[in-house]
Structure 1
Amino acid sequence: MAAIHDIDAVVLDVLGTLVDEPGGLRSAIREAVPASDEATVEDLLGLWLRHGEREQRRIGRGRRPYVPTETLDAEAARMVADRADVTDPATVTRLATAGQRLSPWADSVAGVEQLARQLPVFGLSNAGRTTLLRLGARAGLRWHRALSGETVRAYKPAPEVYRLAIDAAGCPPERVLMVAAHAWDLRGARAVGMRTAYVHRPAGDPPTGRDRFDGHFDGMGGLVAALTRG
């Protein structure tokens, strides 16, 4: 991949891009419902993920007032518990905070550290402020600043979330690189003028043939190399 030139700041999506969201939730469900077989775990995981995606879309369309991901996760945990007949309050409470204990992908910590030696690095996430704080600390992600959509009471791909990062970077959008494993996220960033780079992750949303991003990478190592050359 060729170098990416003229970048003054890097903005990294967090959920799915730097940390393994599906894997972490899957592990938490197994812990909460230890007798479940793999098919049941996948069914419960799908229930959780669909709820979060659906409610974020409803909020984006003005059909529900904004609530942070901590609220959506608590709702999803209750749905999973009800489906699996889990009645222990402590188990449900722990399950509700599973999104705060997600593990980083193998190349995330080193990749963020290497980027941060050269450029301002921001984490930009739909995760609520509390979740984002705890995720970064647990995973060891040493960005310069973490930004949550909760600040503007919106979820990506709402343009105000990306503008939050542009304002924090203090430079024109065309000099800010948005990095994500989700093509829908990069389309939102591109719509407000940001540069874009796709990083492949197993549970991401890959680009289509119509997408025109500035870079496509198999992992953080390729991204770091491209920015170093730039």
Structure 2
Amino acid sequence: MRAVLDEVRFLAFDVFGTVVDWRSSIARAAEPFLTGHGIEVDPLVFADEWRSRYQPSMEAVRTGVRPWVPLERLNRESLETVLARHGVDFGAVTGDELAELNRAWTRLDPWPDSVVGLTRLQRRFPIGPLSNGSIAGMLALARFGGLPWNVILGAEIAHNYKPMPQTYLRSVEAVGLRPDQVAMVAAHNADLRAARAVGLRTVFVARPLEFGPGQTADLTAEDDWDLVTGSITEVADLLGC
């Protein structure tokens, strides 16, 4: 454990991609819907297309173009946008079907090392998501995947999305700590860059298959993060848990 992490009293986790495998899980959930409605697209491609709307959908909130809305609303709007691109007849799709498919974001499988690694870390540190997901969504996802959070932080506390500074700072404030007493754990260099900019410590976890075998971004650490690891269990090893 590096000396710079000696004062850390809370571990905050990015979730989508770092803790859970959204791509395979969304593809699995989408396959019967796509087949049932005759939508000829590979489920993994569909998952990628849906996810590609993630950052653009949040940007309108970040910039104040639209008021705060939780991620579930944005994901539903993005789903309809992607389906429209594939020529879906919305008269043949029920609202209940769309709602059920949108709930796939609360049924994402943890990476194989996630639950055991989080469980080990939680013996020594309080832990929780600092995610763009809503509190309700993170709660449902935790119950689905057995994620042992102590508290849920992130976008809904700040009413803004990462990487806006207040998303990190209001989460830190909510647990009664200074920024340097919180370590952000993420598989995305941009997330860690934004966290470091407001004083948080940083832990990189490589997830080279988050976007599938053709992934080109975030394959390696792009900065001198406080810890660089290949799994959450390795984080636990390095932190003596």
Q: TM-score, length-normalised on structure 2? A: 0.85
- The 3 A distance-change label for structure 1 pair 2 and 138 is same
Identify the range of structure 1 (1-10 vs 57-66) with the bigger mean alpha-carbon deviation: 1-10
Determine which of 101, 104, 119 is the counterpart of 2:107.
101
Going from structure 1 to structure 2, the CA distance change for 1:46 and 1:177 (only over 3 Å counts) comes to same
Counterpart CA distance in 2 for 1:80 and 1:41 is 12
Asked whether the equivalents of residues 180 and 198 of structure 1 are also in contact (C-alpha less than 8 Å), the reply is: yes
Unaligned ranges ≥5, structure 1: none
User: What amino acid does structure 1 have at the position aligned with 2:25?
Assistant: G
CA contact 1:47–1:76 (8 Å) conserved in 2:
no
| Per-residue deviation, 1:185 | 0.7
1:19-44, CA deviations, whole angstroms, 9 ceiling, x for partnerless residues?
A: 1112222222212112666x633442
Query: Equivalent residue for 1:29?
Result: 30
CA distance in 1, matches of 2:154, 2:6: 27
CA RMSD of aligned residues (A): 2.2
- Residue 184 of structure 1 is matched in structure 2 by 190
Distance 1:209 1:33, change over 3 A: closer
Q: Partners of 1:193 and 1:105 in 2: how far apart?
A: 28
Change (3 A) 1:208 1:58: farther
Structure 2 counterpart of 1:220: 232
Report SS of the residue matched to 1:11: strand
Residue pair 2:23, 2:48 contacting (<8 A) in 1 also: no
Choose the corresponding residue for 1:203, options 188, 206, 210: 210
What letter matches 1:105 in structure 2?
A: W
Name the stretch that deviates more: 206-215 or 115-124.
Answer: 206-215
64-73 vs 179-188, which moves further: 64-73
- Mapped contact 1:33–1:84 kept (Cα < 8 A): no
Q: In the aligned structure 2, how far is the partner of 1:172 from the partner of 1:164?
A: 11
**Secondary structure of 1:221's match?**
helix
Task: Tell whether the 8 Å contact from 2:206 to 2:219 is kept in structure 1 after alignment.
Answer: no
Pair 1:134 & 2:146 matched = no
**Could you list the per-position Cα deviations for residues 169-220 of structure 1 after superposition, in whole angstroms to 9, with x for gaps in the alignment?**
3222112111001111111110110100000112275277752210110101
- From 55, 58, 80, the equivalent of 2:57 is 55
1:73–1:97 Cα contact (<8 Å) kept? no
After TM superposition, give the deviation of residue 165 of structure 1 in Å.
Answer: 2.5
1:156 is paired with a residue whose SS is: coil
Query: Aligned partner of 2:103: which letter?
Result: T
Q: 2:88 aligns with which of 70, 85, 89?
A: 85
Segments of structure 2 that go 5 or more residues without pairing to the other structure are 212-216
